[in-house]
Amino acid sequence: MKSLDLAKNTVVGLLKAGCKAEEFVGTALKSSGISLQQFNVLRILRGRKGVPANLQTVQKRMIHKMSNTTRLIDKLIEKKLVVRKICKDNRRKIEIFITDKGLEVLNQLDNKIQETEAAILQPLSLEEQKILRNLINKITLNR
């Protein structure tokens, strides 16, 4: 196989695998009424352990870098899963926090998502998963 064909087939395989993973996780999230992107924002905010985030911080950490992050945050505010506050030190700065309700939703989803992630990777041994993770890091961290 020529290197160009291998590259094309490999990228197509990565895209298909990514779509399949999104489909699995999206299905697991369906009953909670939040989208994969909203779930991603909530996990980003929970990971900050109470430290506020601004829009740029959230957008930088998102899996899908998209221009409608503001709308995504607005939907989470409507659901009372996050709050937006004006920074006391700099009134032009907006801070975003996860609410107790947002933390509760994530806590309820944690086991379901872990099981879904394990199911996605079930065909691979733990050693193969480590190798795959390292290979993905080589692609994503060097960009």
Asked whether 39 and 29 are in contact (CB, 8 A), the reply is yes
Q: Topology of domain 3-140, per CATH?
A: Arc Repressor Mutant, subunit A (1.10.10)
- To which H or E segment does residue 94 belong? strand 94-98
Q: Give the start-to-end residue ranges of the domains of the chain.
A: 3-140
| pLDDT at position 112 | 95
Is 53 strand, coil or helix? strand
pTM for this structure?
0.86
Q: How many CB atoms sit inside 10 A of residue 12's CB?
A: 10
- pLDDT tens track, the chain, 143 positions: 677 789 999 999 999 999 999 999 999 999 999 999 999 999 999 999 989 898 888 988 888 777 688 899 999 999 999 999 887 777 778 899 999 999 999 999 999 999 999 999 999 999 999 999 999 999 987 65
Which parts of 1-143 fold into alpha helices (H)? Answer: 3-29, 36-47, 55-61, 69-78, 100-120, 126-140
User: Residue 71's closest CA among 100, 47, 41?
Assistant: 41
